[in-house]
Chains A and B, each alone.
Chain A
Amino acid sequence: DAGVTQSPTHLIKTRGQQVTLRCSPISGHKSVSWYQQVLGQGPQFIFQYYEKEERGRGNFPDRFSARQFPNYSSELNVNALLLGDSALYLCASSLAMQGKGYTFGSGTRLTVV
Protein backbone atom coordinates (compact mmCIF):
# COMPACT_ATOMS: atom_id res chain seq x y z
CA ASP A 1 0.00 0.00 0.00
CA ALA A 2 1.17 3.49 -0.79
CA GLY A 3 1.89 5.68 2.19
CA VAL A 4 1.06 9.34 2.51
CA THR A 5 2.22 11.09 -0.66
CA GLN A 6 3.04 14.76 -0.88
CA SER A 7 3.93 16.94 -3.81
CA PRO A 8 6.07 18.68 -4.71
CA THR A 9 9.05 17.56 -2.63
CA HIS A 10 10.88 20.85 -2.93
CA LEU A 11 9.74 24.32 -3.90
CA ILE A 12 11.38 27.72 -4.16
CA LYS A 13 9.13 30.75 -4.19
CA THR A 14 9.58 34.51 -4.04
CA ARG A 15 8.17 36.68 -1.27
CA GLY A 16 4.60 37.69 -2.01
CA GLN A 17 3.85 34.70 -4.21
CA GLN A 18 1.28 32.03 -3.53
CA VAL A 19 1.90 28.29 -3.17
CA THR A 20 -0.25 25.14 -3.19
CA LEU A 21 0.93 21.94 -1.57
CA ARG A 22 -0.79 18.62 -2.17
CA CYS A 23 -1.31 15.50 -0.09
CA SER A 24 -2.86 12.10 -0.71
CA PRO A 25 -3.58 10.11 2.46
CA ILE A 26 -3.21 6.39 2.94
CA SER A 27 -6.09 4.57 1.27
CA GLY A 28 -9.03 4.42 3.66
CA HIS A 29 -7.78 7.23 5.87
CA LYS A 30 -10.30 10.02 6.24
CA SER A 31 -8.31 12.46 8.36
CA VAL A 32 -5.64 14.70 6.92
CA SER A 33 -3.63 17.15 9.00
CA TRP A 34 -1.03 19.71 8.01
CA TYR A 35 2.00 20.67 10.09
CA GLN A 36 4.78 23.19 9.64
CA GLN A 37 8.25 22.32 10.89
CA VAL A 38 11.03 24.88 10.99
CA LEU A 39 14.60 23.77 11.54
CA GLY A 40 15.32 22.74 15.10
CA GLN A 41 11.69 22.75 16.21
CA GLY A 42 8.92 20.21 16.48
CA PRO A 43 6.07 20.25 13.97
CA GLN A 44 3.41 22.91 14.52
CA PHE A 45 -0.24 22.12 13.82
CA ILE A 46 -1.83 24.11 10.99
CA PHE A 47 -5.09 22.34 10.06
CA GLN A 48 -6.99 19.11 10.41
CA TYR A 49 -9.66 17.93 8.00
CA TYR A 50 -11.87 14.95 8.63
CA GLU A 51 -14.64 13.80 6.32
CA LYS A 52 -14.01 16.91 4.21
CA GLU A 53 -14.71 19.33 7.05
CA GLU A 54 -12.24 21.48 8.94
CA ARG A 55 -11.95 20.08 12.45
CA GLY A 56 -9.14 22.16 13.83
CA ARG A 57 -7.01 25.17 13.04
CA GLY A 58 -3.71 26.15 14.58
CA ASN A 59 -2.34 29.57 15.35
CA PHE A 60 -1.50 30.56 11.79
CA PRO A 61 -2.58 33.70 9.89
CA ASP A 62 -5.42 33.73 7.40
CA ARG A 63 -2.86 33.54 4.60
CA PHE A 64 -2.94 29.82 5.28
CA SER A 65 -5.94 27.87 4.00
CA ALA A 66 -6.70 24.29 3.16
CA ARG A 67 -9.37 21.99 1.87
CA GLN A 68 -10.12 18.30 1.57
CA PHE A 69 -11.58 16.75 -1.52
CA PRO A 70 -14.18 13.95 -1.86
CA ASN A 71 -11.37 11.42 -2.36
CA TYR A 72 -9.86 12.66 0.95
CA SER A 73 -6.81 14.21 -0.67
CA SER A 74 -5.98 17.69 0.53
CA GLU A 75 -4.36 20.94 -0.50
CA LEU A 76 -2.66 23.55 1.64
CA ASN A 77 -2.52 27.06 0.22
CA VAL A 78 -0.32 29.85 1.46
CA ASN A 79 -0.77 33.37 0.08
CA ALA A 80 1.51 36.38 0.22
CA LEU A 81 4.55 34.31 1.17
CA LEU A 82 6.97 35.64 3.75
CA LEU A 83 10.56 34.61 4.35
CA GLY A 84 9.41 33.11 7.64
CA ASP A 85 7.17 30.65 5.81
CA SER A 86 10.27 28.74 4.76
CA ALA A 87 9.87 25.35 6.39
CA LEU A 88 9.12 21.67 5.92
CA TYR A 89 5.39 21.20 5.44
CA LEU A 90 4.17 17.83 6.58
CA CYS A 91 0.92 16.09 5.81
CA ALA A 92 -0.31 13.37 8.15
CA SER A 93 -3.17 10.95 7.75
CA SER A 94 -5.12 8.68 10.04
CA LEU A 95 -8.27 6.59 9.99
CA ALA A 96 -10.07 8.68 12.58
CA MET A 97 -9.88 12.18 13.95
CA GLN A 98 -8.06 11.11 17.06
CA GLY A 99 -6.46 7.76 16.60
CA LYS A 100 -3.37 5.91 17.66
CA GLY A 101 -1.06 8.33 15.93
CA TYR A 102 -0.56 9.69 12.48
CA THR A 103 1.46 8.58 9.49
CA PHE A 104 3.41 11.44 7.99
CA GLY A 105 4.27 12.00 4.38
CA SER A 106 7.82 12.81 3.35
CA GLY A 107 7.00 16.51 3.34
CA THR A 108 7.40 19.49 1.05
CA ARG A 109 10.45 21.67 1.64
CA LEU A 110 9.42 25.26 0.90
CA THR A 111 12.04 27.94 0.56
CA VAL A 112 10.93 31.56 0.24
CA VAL A 113 13.54 33.95 -1.15
Chain B
Amino acid sequence: QKEVEQNSGPLSVPEGAIASLNCTYSDRGSQSFFWYRQYSGKSPELIMFIYSNGDKEDGRFTAQLNKASQYVSLLIRDSQPSDSATYLCAVYGNQGGKLIFGQGTELSVKP
Protein backbone atom coordinates (compact mmCIF):
# COMPACT_ATOMS: atom_id res chain seq x y z
CA GLN B 1 0.00 0.00 0.00
CA LYS B 2 1.30 3.42 -0.95
CA GLU B 3 1.68 5.90 1.87
CA VAL B 4 -0.36 8.55 0.06
CA GLU B 5 -2.77 7.60 -2.68
CA GLN B 6 -4.62 9.70 -5.20
CA ASN B 7 -6.54 8.88 -8.34
CA SER B 8 -4.31 9.91 -11.22
CA GLY B 9 -7.25 11.04 -13.32
CA PRO B 10 -7.63 12.85 -15.51
CA LEU B 11 -10.65 14.39 -13.84
CA SER B 12 -12.65 16.50 -16.25
CA VAL B 13 -15.26 19.01 -15.09
CA PRO B 14 -17.14 21.78 -16.91
CA GLU B 15 -16.41 25.40 -16.15
CA GLY B 16 -18.35 26.59 -13.11
CA ALA B 17 -18.74 23.11 -11.61
CA ILE B 18 -17.31 21.81 -8.34
CA ALA B 19 -14.16 19.70 -8.69
CA SER B 20 -13.61 17.12 -5.97
CA LEU B 21 -10.14 15.67 -5.44
CA ASN B 22 -9.48 12.89 -2.97
CA CYS B 23 -6.48 11.53 -1.13
CA THR B 24 -5.99 8.71 1.37
CA TYR B 25 -3.00 8.11 3.62
CA SER B 26 -1.75 5.07 5.47
CA ASP B 27 -0.05 6.49 8.59
CA ARG B 28 -2.73 7.01 11.21
CA GLY B 29 -0.32 9.23 13.15
CA SER B 30 -0.07 11.82 10.38
CA GLN B 31 -0.90 15.29 11.62
CA SER B 32 -0.41 17.82 8.82
CA PHE B 33 -1.75 17.69 5.29
CA PHE B 34 -1.10 19.78 2.24
CA TRP B 35 -2.50 20.39 -1.22
CA TYR B 36 -0.17 21.62 -3.91
CA ARG B 37 -1.06 22.70 -7.42
CA GLN B 38 1.38 22.04 -10.23
CA TYR B 39 0.95 23.44 -13.71
CA SER B 40 2.57 21.54 -16.53
CA GLY B 41 6.30 22.20 -16.62
CA LYS B 42 6.22 24.23 -13.40
CA SER B 43 7.01 23.54 -9.76
CA PRO B 44 4.41 22.75 -7.06
CA GLU B 45 2.63 25.68 -5.42
CA LEU B 46 1.11 25.36 -1.94
CA ILE B 47 -2.61 26.11 -1.96
CA MET B 48 -3.94 24.58 1.27
CA PHE B 49 -2.66 23.35 4.63
CA ILE B 50 -4.91 21.57 7.11
CA TYR B 51 -4.26 19.78 10.39
CA SER B 52 -7.61 19.73 12.20
CA ASN B 53 -10.54 17.48 11.43
CA GLY B 54 -13.25 19.22 9.48
CA ASP B 55 -13.24 21.81 6.74
CA LYS B 56 -10.93 24.70 5.97
CA GLU B 57 -11.97 27.23 3.38
CA ASP B 58 -9.83 29.67 1.42
CA GLY B 59 -11.61 31.46 -1.38
CA ARG B 60 -12.89 28.91 -3.89
CA PHE B 61 -10.90 26.12 -2.22
CA THR B 62 -12.09 23.93 0.66
CA ALA B 63 -9.93 21.25 2.24
CA GLN B 64 -11.66 18.52 4.21
CA LEU B 65 -9.88 16.25 6.67
CA ASN B 66 -11.20 13.08 8.26
CA LYS B 67 -8.49 11.47 10.39
CA ALA B 68 -10.67 8.55 11.47
CA SER B 69 -11.12 7.52 7.84
CA GLN B 70 -7.64 8.69 6.87
CA TYR B 71 -8.65 10.80 3.95
CA VAL B 72 -8.26 14.39 2.93
CA SER B 73 -10.06 16.04 0.05
CA LEU B 74 -9.96 19.28 -1.88
CA LEU B 75 -13.04 20.93 -3.33
CA ILE B 76 -12.72 23.65 -5.93
CA ARG B 77 -15.92 25.65 -6.39
CA ASP B 78 -16.77 27.55 -9.57
CA SER B 79 -13.94 25.77 -11.42
CA GLN B 80 -12.15 27.82 -14.03
CA PRO B 81 -10.03 26.71 -17.01
CA SER B 82 -7.07 28.26 -15.17
CA ASP B 83 -7.56 25.60 -12.45
CA SER B 84 -6.49 22.95 -14.96
CA ALA B 85 -3.38 21.46 -13.38
CA THR B 86 -2.14 18.48 -11.40
CA TYR B 87 -3.09 18.56 -7.72
CA LEU B 88 -0.70 16.90 -5.30
CA CYS B 89 -1.67 15.71 -1.83
CA ALA B 90 1.14 15.52 0.74
CA VAL B 91 1.60 14.56 4.38
CA TYR B 92 4.53 14.76 6.75
CA GLY B 93 6.41 11.47 7.08
CA ASN B 94 8.32 10.16 10.07
CA GLN B 95 11.55 12.03 9.33
CA GLY B 96 11.41 15.61 10.50
CA GLY B 97 10.10 17.68 7.65
CA LYS B 98 9.95 14.94 5.04
CA LEU B 99 6.88 15.44 2.86
CA ILE B 100 5.35 12.36 1.28
CA PHE B 101 3.46 13.12 -1.91
CA GLY B 102 0.80 11.24 -3.76
CA GLN B 103 1.18 10.78 -7.50
CA GLY B 104 -1.16 13.67 -8.19
CA THR B 105 -4.56 14.04 -9.83
CA GLU B 106 -4.74 15.79 -13.18
CA LEU B 107 -7.70 18.16 -13.36
CA SER B 108 -9.05 19.50 -16.63
CA VAL B 109 -11.70 22.25 -16.57
CA LYS B 110 -13.50 22.55 -19.90
CA PRO B 111 -14.88 25.94 -21.00
Contacts and interface: CB of A to CB of B under 8 A. Distances in A.
Interface of A: 31, 33, 35, 40-45, 48, 50, 55-58, 88, 90, 92, 94, 96-107
Interface stretch (B12-20, B64-72, B73-81, B97-105): B97-105
Contact of A90 (B43, B96, B104): B43
**Contact-size category for B:** 20 to 34
A47 to B, nearest CB: 9
17 contacts: A31-B97, A35-B99, A41-B103, A42-B4, A42-B104, A43-B99, A50-B96, A55-B96, A56-B97, A90-B44, A97-B97, A99-B97, A101-B34, A102-B46, A104-B43, A104-B45, A106-B43
Given A33-B99, A42-B88, A55-B97, A98 B32 contact: yes
Contacts of B46: 101-103
Contacts, number: 70
A40 B103 contact: yes
B44 A43 contact: yes
A42 B90 CA distance: 9
A45 B102 contact: no
A41 B93 CA distance: 18
B42 interface: yes
Contacts of A40: 8, 103
B34 A58 contact: no
B61 interface: no
Contacts of B88: 42-43
Interface string B12-48: 0000000000000000000010100000001111100
